[in-house]
Amino acid sequence: MSPIKTIKTMNVQTVVTQPFRDQKPGTSGLRKKVPVFRQPHYLENFIQSIFDSLEGLTGKTFVLGGDGRYYNRQAIQIILKMASANGVGRVLVGQAGILSTPAASCIIRKNQAFGGIILSASHNPGGPEADFGVKYNIGNGGPAPEKVTSAIFERSQVIDSYKIIEAGEINLDQLGSQQLGGMTVEVIDSVADYTELMESLFDFNQISQFLKSGQFRMCMDSLHAVTGPYAQAIFEQKLGASAGTVKNGMPLEDFGGGHPDPNLVYAHDLVEIMFGDHAPDFGAASDGDGDRNMILGQNLFVTPSDSLAILAANANLVPGYKNGLAGVARSMPTSGAVDRVAEKIGIDCYETPTGWKFFGNLLDADKATLCGEESFGTGSNHVREKDGLWAVLFWLNILAVRQQSVEDIVKEHWKTYGRNYYSRHDYEGVEIDKANILMENLRSLLPELAGKEYGQYKVKYADDFSYTDPVDGSVSEKQGIRIGFSDGDRIIFRLSGTGTQGATLRLYVESYEPDANKHKQDTQAALSSLITLADEIAQIKNTIGREKPTVIT
């Protein structure tokens, strides 16, 4: 990089820069290691590329906040100074720089903001050498669609300068308005607007009575991530759950040295509690930026796919959804459990690529009300992001109405709709070249797979999933390789776009079992023949050199 050169106009600096070639946003914005973002010009280049790619931002309102991970506060100060230099009129910032991703979406929508910048690497680890991320959300509160992220990337590849004002730092801890050049900065309560929205959707009185009855105990693990203040305000203060219900509720820059991913591996403390002696009746965890959730009963893990289906089947019990669902949507790798609910209640079910941005058009067009992904994300039309605490409240509302255990509700659901045995195997930190070779080898096999037999399995279809948006007609290709069998079972392979180091290969296996007498099998045992077949077809062990997955969920 060249030395910093500045051209001053009043207190606005125009800083000469050069492009970085690695600023292509992934599934949820740009994610890199903290040292990468801290390089001279790196963050500034990307933020300027966002502003340069937007038309009509002068004088407009933006929302800004993050999950509290390392570098969050410093990045906010830089972005505020750049926003002022670029003519933004007002920025709403979460107190202490904290905004969960769903809360940011809520605030964008409530204030009819032009857009928002969210600082998070979601469920990835935090710390000086760990991960950081930046993503742009548009005026509907949802992640920028591909046409916007493509424009941002294209601009980043030719950028030659950025604008920033000379100014002191904003006090992020003090509520109220402050001036930054010609721009107003409003430091707002991070929790209040989101809590108000939740109260409008759920029966807080009924949930409160349920929590205070003495017959029900819950445990919420925020993993030292962003939802701690939200969970304490809602569950313990507003709903009256006992003190200590929320575990690890203080957001920390390094998430307490943990991995803020709410799954059976990384939320191990909660898993031990829920599978131990005298377990609470209900357990939940959320991730780094608050948009994911894990649901547990006593000695029971509820898969995200089943959770989505159960919420859809019981939506009429919840005030905000009692008038019915316009439709449901799921990502392609998510199990077909919700499809069966949609069919029974007579609504449409949409299958989209992975990435919450694909649900935005369906929600805006009122084609879908509930959406979900197998990667622990569930949400609805109340915001345009997946929402971890919303899912927890939805479950609590159902439990309060039905007065049954989590296990009973799940088993009754399986009895009615059948059980989708389902699992995801993640191979993390794979060498990128090897991961790409595996996927290309699979693509080369696709034309010859249909009709092929592997023991008891006959291939019905094999393709690289392509999605045509039913609202705007946009096409997204190469979204994951699907191999479906004549009995309805399927295997899916895709590379994740959420990591910052190497590649993550994801294998999804699913088998539908309608017979209630066969619903007691262990999931991995029930899927063992499919898992073996997946390795045979894709040559996972031989190609990437891994004997077993990093994480199984």
Active site members: 122
Query: How far is it, in rounded angstroms, from Cα 95 to Cα 374?
Result: 32
- Of the candidates 148, 153, 501, 113, the residue with the CA atom closest to the CA atom of residue 357: 148
- Residue 549: CB atoms within 10 Å: 19
Pairing between strand 30-33 and 12-16?
unpaired
Largest CA distance in the chain: 76
Q: What is the 3-state secondary structure (H, E, C) of 19-45?
A: CCCCCCCECCEEEEEHHHHCCCCHHHH
On the 0-12 / 13-18 / 19+ scale of CB atoms within 10 A, 411 is: middle
C-alpha angle 53-497-26 in degrees, rounded to nearest 5: 5
Closest CA to 135 of 126, 127, 144: 144
Q: Where are the alpha helices (DSSP H) in 275-347?
A: 304-313, 337-345
Quick one: tokens of 188?
A: 């707002």
In this structure, what are the phi and psi dihedrals at residue 398, rounded to the nearest 5 degrees?
-65, -45
CB count in 10 Å sphere of residue 323: 10
What tokens does 532 get? 């073996």
- Contact (CB, 8 A) for 464 and 479: yes
Cβ-contact 353, 469 below 8 angstroms: no
CA proximity to 200, closest of 114, 110, 99 = 110
The token pair at 221 is 């693990």
Residue written as token pair 């919840």: 318
Question: Which residue from 297, 236, 292 is spatially nearest to 270, judged by alpha carbons?
Answer: 297
Rounded to the nearest 10°, the torsion over CA 73, 79, 81, 83 is -150
Q: Dig out the tokens for 46 from the structure.
A: 């990307």
Q: Report whether 186 contacts 91 (CB < 8 A).
A: yes
Rounded to an integer, what distance in angstroms lies between the CA atom of residue 274 and that of residue 279? 5
| Nearest by Cα to 52 from 122, 152, 149 | 152
342: closest CA among 322, 323, 328?
328
Q: Are strands 453-454 and 457-464 parallel, antiparallel or unpaired?
A: antiparallel
